[in-house]
Structure 1
Amino acid sequence: MIQKRSIGFAAAAIIAGAATTAICFGDALGLARSAATDSEATAAAPVGTTSHPIEVLQGKPWLVPVADGPKALRGKVVVVNFWTYSCINSLRVLPYLRAWNARYGPKGLQVIGVHAPEFAFEKDPARVRRATNQLDVRYPNLPDNDYAVWRAFANQGWPGFYFIDATGKVRGYQLGEGKYDEAEQLIRKLLTETGADVSSIPLIPVEAGGIEAQADWTDLRSPEAYIGYDKAADFTSPGGFGKDAVRTYASATTLSLNQWDLAGRWSVGGEHATLNGGPGTIRFRFHARDVHLVLGGAPDGRPVRFRVTIDGRAPGSSHGTDVDAAGSGEVKEDRLYQLVRQPGAIADRTVTVEFSRPGVRAYVFTFG
């Protein structure tokens, strides 16, 4: 099992340019931050990447199959995207993958999603199918719960992109968000090599909204923050964690930037914290336009209501897509919830999430 670590705004540019990209990293793979040079369009594939990528893809069951079967990938230009549905970095690249699939599919491009889960709940095929439907992911997808495809490609994080030519050779690799224009130019080049004429297809900017809107990188000062003790940092409730045990937590007197705490009866495990007696709260001091929290529903299947405040007040126009102006929301399924999207000036603020009853699970804060 690959252990994973997430970095919310790593300065790792894989396609040429100076812009920062956001990446969720795989811990066990010995990753370092890497800056690309202006001379390269895309990076070479990582050392150890399979020389037979199409055959690797053909050897797995599919959630959403390739039309005419996996063997139909032979002779096509293929973009392989490693993703997981609770990762904000993975979600923010979806508009580009949809656009490329729509623009260049008739010319011989095939986009393939490889869903490699970060959390245990993301291994459930039914949940992944529901997520792909909700996220309008219509191109083929295969599950990679055992990370066999991940390892074969020597992938290093989410989102990871592999650009495969019609002969089955990996011609480019990108780790993280950003540099979509360069990626599209590579797609056009690989298609042109097959004899396809893409000159009539305009390079139109991709519009993204809602939870998929690109992050406000200039004002992003908060990294991803895990709630489970395996990867948690900057937890400030008095007494620290009581690992794998139910205990009553209290809020800290003050929170500095990127610190967080719990209040109420929680049990903190390696991957997440579970509210064992309601109500309970979780707070985070952040500096970002957007605040997200990956949450899991109660075991009884009934929705868990929650209320969000920013500096003690209802969010109003700063509410996220999963919260109304009064701060009210419900956890109905295991996924990422957008709590805050600020339309105005960004400053250090404290978001508080109060849950109405026990059973809810909290996994990770992410920002944008």
Structure 2
Amino acid sequence: MRSSVVMAVAAVLISLALGSSLSEAQEPPSIVGSSPLPGLAGATDWINSKPLTAKELKGKVVLVDFWDYSCINCIRAIPYIRAWADKYKDSGLVVIGVHTPEFDVEKQLPNVQKAVQKFGITYPVALDNNYAIWNAFHNQYWPAHYFIDAKGKVRYEHFGEGEYDQSERWIQELLKEANAKQMPASLVSVHGQGAQAAADMSDVRSPETYIGYSRAQHFVSPGGIKRDAEQLYIAPSHLQLNDWGLTGDWLDHGQVAVLRSPGGKILFRFHARDLHLVLGPSADGKPIRFRVTIDGQAPGENHGDDTDAQGNGVVKDHRLYQLVRQKGSITDHTFAIEFEDPGVQAFSFTFG
């Protein structure tokens, strides 16, 4: 899970991304029993729907899903949200995806529209570029799911991935209350594909890692990161687990690093089945060709959805790219991605 608003919980979010649970001291404040739906008025735009209001939703059971299109935890939860929306739409369930962006580039409507189409989302999506809805719900996490009864009260909330059966039973219970009739006890069967497939959290030892300097950690190229200025970086002499570095001419900003000349690389020593990298094309929209290696070799059968067996791929959109999905036993490996063209924008690594 990620949070760009409450920096004090950054360590908590990393632990959650690694599959650990919140302790009592770290639990976010609950809003169960409150009525935060009027906060929907703060949406900056809507996709798949006209603007929805608390008044229109009265009498409906509502699931509000806070997500961000480059958040791997959110991406893996989407197949469940999508299945619930389809299964229960005729029973009175309204699903609203609230897209609250972490990176500035994710505020752009066309980028969110592409993501909505890519993930097959047909339920309403509210764009929350100013964090108005996020704040109305006192939310801190991506993804976060709020289950609201027909009277507009939050009855259950869930943060992060997992416990989908329990969440669906809450949907059934709230619909039973609203409709005064029994709901089927069966639960959806979901098998996500590609980046939407469930993570192997039992063997993830690498945390979400940011490339922009405002939250960069474990950067080991000699000389460190030079902020908001071009720098010619060289490869680290040695990478320990979760260390990373750059080679080539890069300009590192608070949220993103931009490659200034061809041939630049990003290196990362990781331990996980899946490796993802949030990337974007050049500022003028030109695609960026790249090649991935694992321990200096082409990935072969361990390539991700966005690379071929030789490690080749192209950055065309601002989104999360799945670059590695290992087939065998998981051990420490050194990942490298080399960009053949200048201008690529690199934001963050995530694992699964």
TM-score normalised over the length of structure 1: 0.88
Query: Residue type of the partner of 1:64?
Result: I
For 1:162 and 1:68, the matched residues in 2 are separated by 19
Aligned residues: 345
- Tell me, which stretches of 5 or more residues in structure 1 are unaligned? 14-18, 22-32, 37-42
Query: Residue type of the partner of 1:10?
Result: S
Tell me, yes or no, if the aligned pair for 1:9 and 1:20 is still in contact at 8 Å.
no
Tell me the CA shift for residue 73 of structure 1. 1.5
For 1:159 and 1:262, the matched residues in 2 are separated by 30
Change (3 A) 1:323 1:113: same
Change (3 A) 1:362 1:61: closer
Match of 1:40 in 2: none
Between 1:198-207 and 1:145-154, the stretch displaced more is 198-207
For 2:35 and 2:13, the matched residues in 1 are separated by 32
Corresponding position: 1:2 with 2:11: no
Deviations 1:227-264 (A, max 9, x none): 01110111010111111110100001110000000000
For 1:12 and 1:298, the matched residues in 2 are separated by 29
Tell me, yes or no, if the aligned pair for 1:6 and 1:224 is still in contact at 8 Å.
no
Deviations 1:158-196 (A, max 9, x none): 001111000000101111111101111111111111125
Where 1:279 maps in the other structure, the secondary structure is coil
Change (3 A) 1:52 1:8: closer
For 2:44 and 2:212, the matched residues in 1 are separated by 31
Corresponding position: 1:213 with 2:202: no
Q: Please list, as runs of the form range in 1=range in 2, the aligned pairs for 1:103-252 lying within 5 A after superposition.
A: 103-195=87-179, 197-200=181-184, 202-252=186-236
Query: Residue type of the partner of 1:347?
Result: T
| Residue 82 of structure 1, aligned match among 35, 54, 66 | 66
Match of 1:259 in 2: 243
Where 2:262 maps in the other structure, the secondary structure is strand
Tell me the CA shift for residue 202 of structure 1. 1.9
Deviations 1:193-225 (A, max 9, x none): 112545436224321111101110111000011
Q: Please list, as runs of the form range in 1=range in 2, the aligned pairs for 1:90-105 lying within 5 A after superposition.
A: 90-105=74-89
Tell me the CA shift for residue 281 of structure 1. 0.3
Change (3 A) 1:7 1:303: farther
Change (3 A) 1:102 1:48: closer
Query: Residue type of the partner of 1:104?
Result: Y
Tell me, yes or no, if the aligned pair for 1:162 and 1:170 is still in contact at 8 Å.
yes
Name the % identity: 49
Deviations 1:42-84 (A, max 9, x none): x9x8356893323222453542254795443110000101111
Match of 1:39 in 2: none
Corresponding position: 1:285 with 2:274: no
Change (3 A) 1:266 1:68: closer
Query: Residue type of the partner of 2:86?
Result: A
Change (3 A) 1:321 1:6: farther
Tell me, yes or no, if the aligned pair for 2:176 and 2:183 is still in contact at 8 Å.
no
For 1:46 and 1:114, the matched residues in 2 are separated by 19
Change (3 A) 1:11 1:269: closer
Where 1:194 maps in the other structure, the secondary structure is helix
Tell me, yes or no, if the aligned pair for 1:7 and 1:223 is still in contact at 8 Å.
no
In terms of fraction of residues, the more helix-rich structure is 2
For 1:303 and 1:282, the matched residues in 2 are separated by 18
Deviations 1:19-50 (A, max 9, x none): 746xxxxxxxxxxx4359xxxxxx9x835689
Q: Please list, as runs of the form range in 1=range in 2, the aligned pairs for 1:317-332 lying within 5 A after superposition.
A: 317-332=301-316
Tell me the CA shift for residue 140 of structure 1. 0.3
Match of 2:34 in 1: 51
Corresponding position: 1:336 with 2:320: yes
Change (3 A) 1:185 1:47: closer
Poorly superposed stretches of 4+, deviation over 6 Å:
none
Measured on the aligned residues, the alpha-carbon RMSD in Å equals: 2.3
For 1:209 and 1:12, the matched residues in 2 are separated by 19
Change (3 A) 1:141 1:282: same
Tell me, yes or no, if the aligned pair for 1:12 and 1:35 is still in contact at 8 Å.
no
Where 2:261 maps in the other structure, the secondary structure is strand
Match of 2:43 in 1: 60
- Tell me, which stretches of 5 or more residues in structure 2 are unaligned? none
Query: Residue type of the partner of 1:142?
Result: A
Tell me the CA shift for residue 298 of structure 1. 0.7
For 2:30 and 2:172, the matched residues in 1 are separated by 25
Change (3 A) 1:200 1:188: closer
Match of 1:34 in 2: 23
Query: Residue type of the partner of 1:60?
Result: A
Where 1:340 maps in the other structure, the secondary structure is strand
Where 1:211 maps in the other structure, the secondary structure is helix
Tell me the CA shift for residue 130 of structure 1. 1.4
For 1:68 and 1:221, the matched residues in 2 are separated by 42
Query: Residue type of the partner of 2:204?
Result: L
TM-score normalised over the length of structure 2: 0.92
